[in-house]
Chain A
Amino acid sequence: MDSYRKIFNNGLWENNQAFVALLGLCPLLAVSNTVINGLALGLATTLTLILSNATVSLIRHQVGNEIRLPVFVLIIASIVTAIELTMNAYFFELYLILGIFIPLIVTNCAIIGRAEAFASKNPIGASSIDGLGMGLGFTGALVILGAMREVLGSGTLFANAHLIFGDVAKDMTITVIANYEGFLLAILPPGAFIGLGLLIALKNVLDKRLAKPVFQTVNLSLDTKKA
């Protein structure tokens, strides 16, 4: 149980595929122009990661070393195609917006990376958790970057939410800055690069801060004992 949590946290934070491993940058930079686009691609990627990790783990003893990678690619490509068809059928408008980036999930290095580095060496439960953690970590990165760019670029949040959540979410769009002229740079690719850079810096600062207090409390407790 504890190790599952460790695996999950590793994917979500410590070894975050976007902020730490810097994998999957192409979809990350291209689709993070709004929260909803980011969330949709993130969830599709997460589903792919869980399914591909589970499948790879399941067959890890049956597939020889020589053909390991082609088999992984086959598995991932089949899963992504199935997901693409499903989105085309049930989330059509979202599918139109995300377009080429759904089939391109196949080329997200994070997926084959996890298959090779984790799922091919671990049992199915741990591999699925790893897929979930890594996927949600990637989704989180997409959503945060998406929120930054959407607020700066067009002054809204959650625009087009109904494409994921149905008509109930039609009014979910929050106008953060009214009568906003828009800041073009944030929506264009350079905005994505700058935003990602800032977020990575922020994560590093947070990691340092998180590491410090632990150290200090230990000192304090020692002090109180002395006193």
Chain B
Amino acid sequence: MATQKITIEPVTRIEGHAKITIRMNDDGTVDHAYLHINEFRGFEKFCEGRLLSEMAYITPRICGICPISHHLAAAKATDAVLGMTPPRPANLLRELMHMGQIIQSHSLHFFELAGPDLLLGFDADPAVRNVVGLVDLDEGLTVKAIQLRKYGQEIIAALGGRKIHPTFVVPGGVNKALTSDQRDTILEGIEQSIATTKVGLDIIKNWAAENKKDIDRFAVFPTGYMSLVTPENGLELYDGKAKLIGSDGNEIVKFEGNDYLDHIAEHVENWSYLKFPYYKPMGYPEGSYRVGPLGRLNVAEKLDTPMASEEHKLFKQLNDGKPVENTLLYHYARMIEVLFCIERVQMLLDDKDILSTDILNTKKDFKGEGVGMLEAPRGTLFHHYKADENEKLTMVNLIVSTGHNNYAMSHSVDMVAKEYINGHEVTEGILNRVEAAVRAHDPCLSCSTHAVGQMPIIINFEDTAGNIVKTIKRD
């Protein structure tokens, strides 16, 4: 029975609303470490009774880091409920906006959030280990990184009027066509964006080579992985079937968004407000899997753009074609995806239909129920709605991307705690490991949120009477 408790709070700087508790046994070993996600808002209930067409505008407020994920997943679910089919140009434009979002979200995380760790070092002074410190270290690179995120944000703004919580999708299409001037402006930014992304790739490759020992020791464990794929099992971010692979890399199942309930269920733990999705036939927790950049590049057999394809081949060699299990290599996978998205932007802008004004199909064949599924920056996102004939919602179910990684994050924390804590001495190094276990997954817990850099931590050792016997603190 656990007789002592260690609290790590806040884990806020990853996300805002998480903390870790470690229950200790009498002999100083770890009984169990818990990652508590400490926020609940209740969108599924309070969207009931709203109009379907509002969902693409309410649900982005789940997350301001990747609002486009919810904007587009809501649009897809709404189209499905209403039986509306957007014309091809509308889907191209929606995907273009999605690419803008992944570029901005990934580059934000890579440079501005994880970057201080990678470039300044995990052991740098916390007072400077942030984006301000990056400016002092390398202003030129920081400005380029800022401009890469800006590039993604400006694609979003060109289509939706503004960068965060834009207004673009409507049932059956989008509300505005792309102008040739806008297309040309976006095209002009491609070259510099690719150059910055390649710098990022060099940074992470060098970092991985220099820190191989840590990477191989740190929260490496087998799980399944899930991602959308093209019909030929290539990487797909906007539309396609979901594919789940096992820890050996072999396909377990491939399914349409409409059938997700046959394959995915969510478990609740009393100690977290974030649910734990799992592959239903295998049960919880055996059916847990991971999503996001690492999951996607593990699932995808190929990337259908030239430069990203070459990078993906190198990535696949890391574990001889088997899934790459190293949690810290999420950062590497993330940068390859940025390259893929910029190349997709080029392909979309070169498409003959991209400037078409055939952007809305008002023909309706009311179904009453529908699912929208896509790859948000952090993983597969599901919106499932039911509505009455007045188009008022009667049921809403959301499975957000970070949720899929919940078990993996919790397990990483538990693993790291059990491996490194023995006896009542807890060193700073252990705190570093514990926080990195969470951050590498790039949790977006308010769909969620990010934080940057290092988590400030206070650990209190309490005796069985609840008295604090020792405190370890790092601001």
Q: Is chain B a partner of chain A in the same complex?
A: no
Binding site for B on A (CB under 8 A): none
